[in-house]
Structure 1
Amino acid sequence: MCAAERDDPGGVTAARLTALLCAFAPGDECLGASELARRTGLPKSSVHRLLGHLVTHGLLERDGGAVRLGLKLFEIGQLAVRGRGLVDAARPYLADLREATRNTVHLAVLEGTEVVYLDIVRGPDAPALPSRIGGRFPAHATAVGKAILAHSPGSQLEAVISAGLPRVGPRTLTAPGLLRRQLTRVCEEGVAYDREESGAGVVCVASPVLDGSGRARAAVSISGWSNRVRAERVAPAVRTTALTLSRTLP
């Protein structure tokens, strides 16, 4: 065992550094040591020491007596290869879909029981949505999540159901049986819907981006006001975009 491993059994320091970085939430500009200690449960003395390491390596930046996420994190994020090629390939198609519908277009993948948004092209006529690039949302409460789950191994759906189906919007599917039946229909039609399941007054239409074996790599969706968007009318455009993107990818 090397000296670093003896001094840090079980990777405690790595876990603490990770906890500090993950303590930042959407909307957080800067956080002080006291707030970080409160959020992570770490001793304030440890927080001060670990923040010094993170600042030294550019992962955090000092702003007065507080810290904010550093540009180095952004650089590392850009190197993430899982979705990078997909985003580059999808962007022109997402832009065309936005122009055709004037609503917000999403590209998302499944990560555990949540969807992660890889790209968002916001439309001028769309509602202000809580989604953001890199943001997460429960898969069962989104059209993109259902589009992916319907074309994924059954074990992934079981993991989502086992984790619970919390209510997110006024009409979120919280009954496993109802979710299963809806996913069967999504699999048959190639289109998933979110009718105020992720938020009040919002409707979403999604379609999966499939690989050669028919499994979902991602999903494309549009989101708009429920009183303005006729979901069935825009569904063919979403489906066409997803199919075209599926054929484009290696």
Structure 2
Amino acid sequence: MANSTSGDSVTQRLVRVLDTFTPARTVQTAAEIGRRAGLPPSTAHRMVGELVDAGLLERDDERRIRVGMRLWELATRSSQALSLRQVALPFMERVQARVREHTQLAILEQDEALFLERLSGPHSGANITRVAGRLPLHASSSGLVLLAYGERDLQERIVRGPLVALTEDTITDAAALRRKLAEVRSLGHAIAPGYIEAVSTGVAVPVRDETGAVIAALSSVLRRDDPVPPALAELNAAARGIEGALGFRR
């Protein structure tokens, strides 16, 4: 791809444009996209127009921009993550029906926990997680599972920090995080009371593929004072079911 006068390639600028969309920011003007992507106004309007013409972005009646269905279509054609979600969903539905709290599936993506699915009931407690949203590895139960079973380089990178505190209970000390990761590997699950929200406890277990490698974390978000063992039992049963469907045999 040709470079701009700033040295950025077309691909780099395209990624910056798409990265301006977040789970909380789904609609923007072309000017807002340009400002957030660090592009000159003329470049931003031209790129947005070309992406709209290609169907990767869409323009509503007020000329605001949102992610287009064409981008979703392309992403779902061969995504391993979405294939995993499809396999996991029936097992997640069983957990959610029995535990009656949020049930979530996350994978490791660029040093964060990326959530592929979240099931919730009308009376489920507090939870900030969103589908296609991200949480820090050191602060979420899913993230702790992914980190504990991740590569050593990943663990060292995260432990070196900064370990940002989301609540007063979030682990922010490197030595404490190392101990927590060892605990997760020893027990085979992560419990994170108040790490993300003071009123909630995250509980997560690993999910393995046919080779035995941990590829995802399955979790529930409980109210802070709810008993953990019943949810943990349901999560473990569901994880074994997902692993069996993926071809893993213990």
Q: TM-score, normalised by structure 2?
A: 0.90
Equivalence for 2:36: 39
Q: How does 1:45-84 map to 2 (within 5 A)?
A: 45-63=42-60, 64-84=62-82
SS in 2 for 1:145: helix
Equivalence for 1:120: 118
Offset from partner CA, 1:183-230 (integer Å, 9 cap, x none): 111111111011110112011111001235543111111112213x21
Q: How does 1:165-204 map to 2 (within 5 A)?
A: 165-204=163-202
Equivalence for 1:145: 143
Equivalence for 2:222: 224
Q: What residue identity is the alignment partner of 2:192?
A: D
RMSD: 2.1
Return closer, same or farther for 1:217/1:7 CA change in 2, 3 Å cut-off. Answer: closer
Tell me, in whole angstroms, the C-alpha distance in 2 between the residues paired with 1:147 and 1:197: 14
Q: TM-score, normalised by structure 1?
A: 0.90
In structure 2, runs of 5+ residues without a counterpart are none
Return closer, same or farther for 1:185/1:213 CA change in 2, 3 Å cut-off. Answer: farther
Tell me, yes or no, if the aligned pair for 2:159 and 2:177 is still in contact at 8 Å.
no
Q: How does 1:198-213 map to 2 (within 5 A)?
A: 198-211=196-209
Q: How does 1:65-104 map to 2 (within 5 A)?
A: 65-104=63-102
Q: Pick from 213, 222, 244: which aligns with 2:241?
A: 244
Equivalence for 1:26: 23
Return closer, same or farther for 1:203/1:7 CA change in 2, 3 Å cut-off. Answer: closer
Offset from partner CA, 1:23-60 (integer Å, 9 cap, x none): 12223242112222221221111111111110110011
Quote the offset at 1:91 in angstroms. 0.9
SS in 2 for 1:120: strand
Return closer, same or farther for 1:48/1:112 CA change in 2, 3 Å cut-off. Answer: closer
Tell me, yes or no, if the aligned pair for 1:59 and 1:71 is still in contact at 8 Å.
yes
Tell me, in whole angstroms, the C-alpha distance in 2 between the residues paired with 1:87 and 1:11: 35
Quote the offset at 1:159 in angstroms. 2.1
Tell me, in whole angstroms, the C-alpha distance in 2 between the residues paired with 1:45 and 1:123: 46
Return closer, same or farther for 1:46/1:239 CA change in 2, 3 Å cut-off. Answer: same
* Number of matched pairs: 246
Return closer, same or farther for 1:7/1:168 CA change in 2, 3 Å cut-off. Answer: closer
Return closer, same or farther for 1:9/1:31 CA change in 2, 3 Å cut-off. Answer: closer
SS in 1 for 2:207: strand
Offset from partner CA, 1:167-188 (integer Å, 9 cap, x none): 1233111111111111111111
Tell me, yes or no, if the aligned pair for 2:23 and 2:132 is still in contact at 8 Å.
no
Tell me, yes or no, if the aligned pair for 2:2 and 2:9 is still in contact at 8 Å.
no
- Which deviates more from structure 2 when the two are superposed, residues 153-162 or residues 192-201? 153-162
Quote the offset at 1:80 in angstroms. 4.2
Tell me, yes or no, if the aligned pair for 2:102 and 2:124 is still in contact at 8 Å.
yes
SS in 2 for 1:37: helix
Tell me, in whole angstroms, the C-alpha distance in 1 between the residues paired with 2:64 and 2:241: 47
In structure 1, runs of 5+ residues without a counterpart are none
Tell me, yes or no, if the aligned pair for 2:126 and 2:199 is still in contact at 8 Å.
no
Tell me, in whole angstroms, the C-alpha distance in 2 between the residues paired with 1:6 and 1:226: 52
Tell me, yes or no, if the aligned pair for 1:206 and 1:220 is still in contact at 8 Å.
yes
Tell me, yes or no, if the aligned pair for 2:207 and 2:215 is still in contact at 8 Å.
yes
